[in-house]
Amino acid sequence: MVRRRFFLSLLLALSLLLSALGSLRDITTPLGYWALWGVWALAVVSATWPVFGVYWERTIPPTWVWGSFMILVLGMGLSAAVNHSVLSLHHGVKIAVIGVCCCIAWRLAAGLCWRDRVFILRWVLVSVVLVFLASKAAPYGYYIDLGSAGREGSFLAWPGVIWKVGAFFLPMFLADMLIRPRDWLANGLAIAACVFLVMIDGTRTGILVLGMTVLAFGGILAWRRDWSALAMARPAIVTFVPALCGLLLLSAGVGYLSHGSGAGLSTSRLAGAGGVYMGKAGALVETAARPITTTRLGDGDPERLKLLENGAERAVGCLPMGCGFGSTFIDPGYGVSMPVHNAYLGALADFGVLGFVGMLGFIVAAMVAIRRVLRDQVVGAEDVYFVLASAGAALAYLASLLLHTFSSEMSEWGYLILMLAFAWLPGEACKVSVSP
């Protein structure tokens, strides 16, 4: 029992790492990346096979989840047939495989309870931070810096990828902060690490998701009037600020020691006041603060607006069956053709009404999970907060798709699948035994 639970924990960590380090796909090639997911799927099936028949009916994804996959795949298949689009069929097959992986992930989540899940999330978060710092300390080519855009990442998690683990894990650590105030140090550091990853990435979507998470968190506390839990979580909140500052300074220091990054920002200005060492210290602090002071939220984006306008026109013009994958591709001014940066409009234009309905089904699945726990009058505080956190993380992912393209990669869907599984398998359901 203990060994199998440990094995399931490792498999959960592997699935989360494959999603968090999504740029691994560029190194292993897409086929190699899918092969890694195949090995993971076989390992999960092997670990849960002894009780496959006994508990399958209790842990199969709900209709809202598998039904959404079926409708989406059906829409992609019909669009492929009508438009003779091989690409639509190709991506439809990939989404179907992702649906199978969803069923397998459900089995995995069913064997682990909240404490196990949060523990694994922490170690995955630590791994991503360490990979980033190690890549920054390594020779050129491993650390990714987009320069004036103020965006950083690693060769395993580029800017645009690395923020997701921070933004989508954050709700779970906020919930654990309230449920287990004794773990104030671990949760305070984890929350700081989540914000750190979003800040260094610099993507506006990640910052918006952080803001929505904090607002939702405050709204839940106000609704439950659970101010005593917040008071007990004060040590974790107090730990967050110095921990975040420490991570930013550490990142800047690693960059300076490895590549001289940021060394000359303030040296000349401060040298007369206190010498070259004070100048370097000022430069280090200025570099550390750059991810916070350079948010890009106020920047306009006419290119994305052009993509959005074209996507809306194509979506209306391609009703009801869609025009096949890639129908929204245009060059908005970047010098390269791109699809609309809105997965729902993209699905409507490419795969028609069925594709659009399938995408909306996942939103309903997350909301129904929230409704279930709120309607249950006897559910404990642990389930309430963790279900709201995991379903909220799923909704945050789905909200981010309003600003991102439709994807058929497991590195993107992995977050949604696992967070939905956590939300639908709370309490006793998540404690389903996996022993013979």
pLDDT tens-place string over residues 291-315: 766 666 656 578 888 999 999 999 9
pLDDT band at 285 (very low <50, low <70, confident <90, very high): confident
Q: Has residue 341 got a pLDDT over 70? A: yes
pLDDT band at 263 (very low <50, low <70, confident <90, very high): very low
Residue 434's pLDDT is 39
Average pLDDT over residues 226-242: 91
Nearest Cα residue to 297 out of 212, 203, 214, 163: 203
pLDDT band at 267 (very low <50, low <70, confident <90, very high): very low
pLDDT band at 201 (very low <50, low <70, confident <90, very high): very high
- Average model confidence (pLDDT) for the chain? 86
d(CA 119, CA 107): 18
pLDDT band at 202 (very low <50, low <70, confident <90, very high): confident
Residue 54's pLDDT is 46
Q: State whether residue 429 is helix, strand or coil.
A: helix
Contacts of 115 (CB under 8 A, 6+ apart): none
Report the number of secondary-structure helices (H) and strands (E) in the chain. 16, 2
pLDDT band at 111 (very low <50, low <70, confident <90, very high): confident
Q: Has residue 269 got a pLDDT over 60? A: no
d(CA 268, CA 283): 10
Task: For residue 52, list its beta bridge partners.
Answer: none
Residue 398's pLDDT is 96
Residue 300's pLDDT is 58
Residue 273's pLDDT is 44
Residue 11 Cα distances to 20, 44, 172, 296, 427, angstroms: 14, 7, 19, 37, 21
* DSSP character at residue 335: S
Residue 278 identity (one-letter amino acid): M
d(CA 112, CA 102): 16
Residue 3's pLDDT is 74
- Is the bond leading into 235 cis (omega within 30 degrees of zero)? no
Residue 280's pLDDT is 64
Number of other CB atoms surrounding residue 236 within 10 Å: 27
**Comparing 73 with 265, which gets the higher pLDDT?**
73
Residue 92: Cβ-neighbour burial (10 angstroms; 0-12, 13-18, 19+): buried
Average pLDDT over residues 192-202: 95
Per-domain residue ranges of the chain: 1-110+327-436, 113-299
d(CA 42, CA 104): 9
Q: Which residues in 244-281 are b (16+ Cβ under 10 Å) and which e?
A: bbebbeebbbbbbebbebbbebbbeebeeeeeeeebbe
Residue 292's pLDDT is 66
Residue 225's pLDDT is 86
Q: Are 338 and 329 in contact (CB under 8 A)?
A: yes
Contacts of 353 (CB under 8 A, 6+ apart): 75, 319, 320, 321
Average pLDDT over residues 268-284: 52
Nearest Cα residue to 143 out of 27, 199, 134: 134
pTM: 0.90
Average pLDDT over residues 96-125: 92
Q: Which helix (H) or strand (E) holds 154?
A: strand 152-154
The dihedral formed by the CA atoms of 302, 303, 307 and 308, expressed in degrees to the nearest 10 = -30
Q: Has residue 384 got a pLDDT over 50? A: yes
Residue 421's pLDDT is 94
pLDDT band at 197 (very low <50, low <70, confident <90, very high): very high
What is the secondary structure of 14-83 as a DSSP string? HHHHHHHTTTHHHHHHHHHHHHHHHHHHHHHHHHHGGGHHHHHHHHSPPHHHHHHHHHHHHHHHHHHHHH
pLDDT band at 224 (very low <50, low <70, confident <90, very high): confident
Question: Six-digit token pair at 378?
Answer: 């006897």
Average pLDDT over residues 141-145: 88
Q: Has residue 149 got a pLDDT over 70? A: no
pLDDT band at 226 (very low <50, low <70, confident <90, very high): confident
pLDDT band at 271 (very low <50, low <70, confident <90, very high): very low
What are the pLDDT digits (tens) for 349-361? Answer: 999 999 999 999 9
Q: Per mean pLDDT, which range of 94-103, 229-238, 321-330, 371-380 is the poorest?
A: 371-380
What are the pLDDT digits (tens) for 16-74? Answer: 999 999 999 989 999 999 999 999 999 998 887 765 554 555 568 899 999 999 999 99
Residue 279 Cα distances to 211, 249, 274, 294, 370, angstroms: 34, 15, 7, 21, 52
Q: Are 387 and 373 in contact (CB under 8 A)?
A: yes
pLDDT band at 410 (very low <50, low <70, confident <90, very high): very high
Q: Has residue 12 got a pLDDT over 80? A: yes
